[in-house]
Copies of this chain bind each other. A is one copy, B any other.
Amino acid sequence: MEDKDYLKLIGENISSIRKSKNLSTNEFASRCEMEKSNLIPIEKGRINVTINTLIKIANALNVPLDDLLKF
């Protein structure tokens, strides 16, 4: 599997968990203490996220890190 594919899957995981918790991108960004302009491309799989960012996201979504990395 290509790197890009992993990023896309991670983005989809994040996006679908966020939606399942009824969080807007704004609310989500504020919980992550990150910029929406950075989070949306992450959900689209356009950014090669760092582990610290993934941890922030997992915390904001209140899920274990593993949930973001299911392939």
Contact = CB atoms under 8 A, between A and B. Distances in A.
Interface of A: 3, 6-7, 10, 48-52, 54-55, 65-66, 69
What copy number does this chain have within its complex? 2
A59 to B, nearest CB: 10
A69 B67 CA distance: 12
Nearest to A6: B55
21 contacts: A3-B52, A3-B55, A6-B51, A6-B52, A6-B55, A7-B51, A7-B52, A10-B51, A48-B50, A48-B51, A48-B52, A49-B50, A49-B51, A50-B50, A50-B51, A51-B51, A51-B54, A65-B69, A66-B66, A66-B69, A69-B69
